[in-house]
Amino acid sequence: AKRTAYATAYHWLERVGLADHAKALPGEMSGGEAQRIAIARALCPQPSILFADEPTGSLDSLNTEYVMSGLVHLAREHTMT
Confidence band (pLDDT; 50, 70, 90) for 79? confident
- Which contacts (CB < 8 Å, 24+ apart) does range 60-65 have? 60/32, 62/32, 63/30, 63/31, 63/32, 63/35
Res. 61: pLDDT tops 90:
no
Mean pLDDT value of segment 55-63: 82
For residue 56, give its domain range.
Answer: 2-77
The total number of structural domains in the chain stands at 1
Q: What is the tens place of the pLDDT at every residue in 6-56? A: 999 999 898 888 899 989 998 999 888 888 888 888 888 888 888 888 888
Res. 80: pLDDT tops 80:
no
